[in-house]
Amino acid sequence: MSGPDYSIELAAATRGARIIAGVDEVGRGPLAGPVTAAAVVLDPECIPEGLNDSKKLSEKRRLALYDLIVAHAEVSIAHASVEEIDALNILRASHLAMERAIAGLPRRPDMALIDGNMIPRGLTVPAQAVVKGDGLSVSIAAASIMAKIRRDYVMRDLAQHYPGYGWETNAGYPSKSHIEALQNLGVTPHHRRSFKPVHNILYQDK
């Protein structure tokens, strides 16, 4: 099975879009840390080989592609905080991160290709939702790689300040060791209180 290609971007270009951004987010499922989005405008003359859904790539391959994307594309990374996730819900917070990533690009895109089946309601640019887009569009695949690596950096940094939860390896996802650490060490300011496992620990004695 072949990986993503540039055909969705080419179709948008035939409709008049010149600046086309792929947009993806990572971090909906974790119990801790922000949700992170990336927007990437690839140079059609210099698309790194091997772009794919970040989950299908080894860390070594992701890092190599990360450097190539940074060198040859326009990139914007943005986050929505734990507080925003708890206040808004994770879907709306992930869309907020996407909106911020698009707004942070050096140039306003003519078209944003959004991974998933929903377009963030706060977008001010034309957009197209692409289901499983990180496996279809190289621009969205590039965004998935950028978001994954940058969020992992955030979680490794937080792990230095809150040791014991394993964030440097589990990235805040609900691994067995993370759940045990929550029960033994308690809830940190970086845990999502609206998420059931965290909420249950906070209020189990109340």
Q: Please enumerate, by residue number, every residue annotated as part of a binding site.
A: 24-25, 115
Helix (H, G, I), strand (E, B) or coil at 170: helix
Listing DSSP states for 62-130 in one string gives HHHHHHHHHHHSEEEEEEE-HHHHHHH-HHHHHHHHHHHHHHTSSS--SEEEEESS---TT--S-EEEE
Do residues 42 and 145 touch, judged by C-beta distance below 8 A?
no
Six-digit token pair at 82?
């734990």
CA distance 18 to 41: 10
Binding residues for a divalent metal cation: 24-25, 115
CA distance 132 to 144: 11
* Helix%, strand%, coil% for the chain, nearest 5: 45, 15, 35
Helix (H, G, I), strand (E, B) or coil at 205: coil
